Structure 1
């Protein structure tokens, strides 16, 4: 008789593995991380790990895909809001809050080391596209309501906001004194200054 799978329990176990793997990749980089170390961090056996993720690369992709899922879910959470500028600034601030996780700098460096792999590049592009869509929706609404500048196209504004937030994340990853918690307010203020009409 086949064993029934509890979807909630399955997802919870998967998230435990993703969380443990994020810690290991952040500490050791992609090359230094091992599935054995991920198993130890997650307190599971290798059979359990490989049931969810067949390879180390699959685990890494799983972390990135989970991030993309969070982007899409957060987009749905803002539906119905009527303050596009406020939403855009919350998106920027939320990115800074996520970057404050002490594992983020190490994970970003690990990702930079493998982003040339087609399997990773594909997931990174899907994440970037989800972020662009989420931001573009609110830029267009903000332009229509007069809250966001109209001297640039929505596409250019989205590109510049992505440059700002991606650059912020890079600084957090490579500059030891540049912390997300300390720099968040300035990041949001810079985004506001860029977005508001002149």
Structure 2
């Protein structure tokens, strides 16, 4: 008789592995991370790890995919809002809040070290597209409501907001004194200054 799988338990175990792997990649980089270290951090055996993720690369892709799913799901958090500028600034501020995880600088460096791999590049592209899809309707609504500048097309504004958020994350990864908590308010103020019509 085939064993039935409890979907909630399966997903919970998968998330434990993803969280453990994030810690290991952040501490040791992609090349220095081992599946054995991930197993130790997750307190699981290698058989369990390989049941969920057959390779170290699959674990990294799982982390990236999880982040992309969170971005897509978070878009619904803004349903019914009538303050497009407020939503856009919350999205920008939220990206800084996520970057405040102390593991984030190391993980960003680890992922950057393998972004030349086609699978990683595709996962990063999917995440960027999810980000654009979340931002784009609010830029358009903001322009229609007169809350967001109209001298630039919406697509270009979206690109610049992405540049602000991605650049912020890069600075956190490479500049030790540049912290998400310390720079969050300036990031949001910069986004506001860029978005508001002159």
TM-score, length of structure 1 as denominator length: 0.99
CA distance, structure 2, for counterparts of residue 25 and residue 104 of structure 1 = 10
- Within 5 A, what are the aligned runs for 1:17-166? 17-166=17-166
CA distance, structure 2, for counterparts of residue 192 and residue 169 of structure 1 = 18
Corresponding residue number in structure 2 for 1:2: 2
TM-score, length of structure 2 as denominator length: 0.99
SS of residue paired to 2:113: helix
CA RMSD, Structure 1 to Structure 2 (Å): 0.4
SS of residue paired to 1:67: helix
**For each residue in 1:105-142, what CA deviation from the matched residue of structure 2 results, as whole angstroms up to 9, or x when unmatched?**
00000011000000100000000000011111110010
Corresponding residue number in structure 2 for 1:176: 176
Q: Runs of 4+ in structure 1 displaced over 6 angstroms?
A: none
What count of residue pairs does the alignment treat as equivalent?
198
**For each residue in 1:62-86, what CA deviation from the matched residue of structure 2 results, as whole angstroms up to 9, or x when unmatched?**
0000000000011011111110000
SS of residue paired to 1:80: coil
CA distance, structure 2, for counterparts of residue 20 and residue 197 of structure 1 = 44
- Within 5 A, what are the aligned runs for 1:181-196? 181-196=181-196
CA distance, structure 2, for counterparts of residue 170 and residue 59 of structure 1 = 22
Show structure 1 runs of 5+ residues with no match.
none
Show structure 2 runs of 5+ residues with no match.
none
CA distance, structure 1, for counterparts of residue 137 and residue 15 of structure 2 = 29
